[in-house]
Amino acid sequence: MSRPFLSVENLAVHFPTSDGIVRATDGLSYTLERGKTLGIVGESGSGKSVSSSAILGLHRNTSARVSGQIWFDGTELIGLSDDEMRAKRGKDVAMIFQDPLSALHPYFRVGDQISEAYLVHNRVPKRVARARTIEMLARVGIPQPERRVDDYPHQFSGGMRQRVMIAMALINDPILLIADEPTTALDVTIQAQILDLLQDLQREFDTALIMITHDLGVIAEVADDVLVMYAGRAVEYGAARELLTKPAMPYTWGLIQSIPDVTGPLDRPLRPIPGNPPSLLDPPAGCPFFARCEYSRFVPDNRCARELPELLPVAEGHLKRCHLEDDVLADYDAVLTGGN
């Protein structure tokens, strides 16, 4: 039986602290094939970055407890030794971070920082690594790469810095790329350029891409599959087209509704989701979204408060974690008006 290219099974990342265990991610499962893009959406602290960092083994076993299985290209990553994991990190799996200014070292030239990533996995002379670096800088669209290679990060604009990060991540032709909010710190016009670039490079190298974001617009543009996370758990998972057109649970509805609509009347108020996510230190017994959910009254016996819903299929390849019966949700438009 062939496994998917990337298969995350029942992943949990817990951080023991003096106040108790922070359950940053619990029971997370998803799969991803080469050349495809998985979008992970959720608000800050929902476990998007934490779960993806686990694939790179970036959690140090002194501070985090990682359990579950991560099958990547035929290898189980959890339980690999530090050296085995390090050999894959930056080579087979690479990551792009949110804020390229703080993610680049201020004291080293960008060329040295990029070629360092190449040299650590390839036994080649520095000259070769430098040539490869210049080639990558050109590939990600940095003008005059022969000159810019010796500049420092602060001499680049935000968008150019993110291109540097992308060049660094892709220099070893990784087969899985994790982009952690790669466009959040950038201007909107630059965002589109960076997304286009990522998609071009993905097609060129047949890379699997995990796009972490809280921007559903980005998801709609790039993702094949979408995973919606809330309070450390997957709450909805499915093909992007299906999930975005037929979202199946209240949190996803809230996310979609909170997008400002520029085509409608301009005085239409924004519709934020009221309240805050629950503490991951002491998660509630029932549904994590219960306290903020205006639809829980449609669920009998107060189940939302008592019982954590399972992640169950609503349609072929579309899962949701919600007690609401499907027939209550049958008319999505009615639900959008508040269920009244």
Partner 1 sequence: MIAYAIRRILVGIVLLLAMVLVVFVLFFAAGNPARDICGKYCTPEKLANITQVYGYNQPISYQFGQFVQGLAVGRDYPVDDAYRAALEKSNPDLVIHCPAPCLGYSQHSAMTVNAAVVKYAPVTISLAIYAFIIWIVFGVLFGVIAAVFKGKWLDRIIVGVTLVVYALPTFFIGTFLLQFVAIRWKLVPYPRYVSIADGGVLNWIISLTLPALTLALFYMAAYVRITRAFVLESLSEDYIRTARAKGLSERVVLFKHGLRAALTPLLSMAGLDFAALLAGAVITEAVFTYQGLGFLAVISNQNADLPVLIGLVIVAGAAVIIANIVVDILYAYVDPRVRLR
Q: Binding residues for partner 1, per CB under 8 A?
A: 56, 58, 82, 86-91, 94-95, 97, 99, 102-109, 116-117, 120-121, 152, 154, 165, 168
d(CA 27, CA 25): 7
Between residues 105 and 147, which has the closer beta carbon with respect to partner 1? 105
- Taking phi over 0 as left and psi of -120 to 50 as alpha, with beta for the rest, 35 belongs to left
Q: How far is the CB of 160 from partner 1 (least distance, A)?
A: 16
Between residues 114 and 228, which has the closer beta carbon with respect to partner 1? 114
Q: How far is the CB of 234 from partner 1 (least distance, A)?
A: 24
Between residues 107 and 260, which has the closer beta carbon with respect to partner 1? 107
Q: How far is the CB of 48 from partner 1 (least distance, A)?
A: 15
Between residues 51 and 252, which has the closer beta carbon with respect to partner 1? 51
Q: 């209550």: which residue's tokens? A: 328
Between residues 67 and 102, which has the closer beta carbon with respect to partner 1? 102
DSSP 291: G
Q: 């019982």: which residue's tokens? A: 307
Q: How far is the CB of 89 from partner 1 (least distance, A)?
A: 4
Q: How far is the CB of 58 from partner 1 (least distance, A)?
A: 6
CA–CA distance from 78 to each of 7, 40, 54, 55, 209 (Å)? 12, 21, 8, 8, 20
CA–CA distance from 196 to each of 201, 211, 249, 254 (Å)? 9, 13, 30, 28
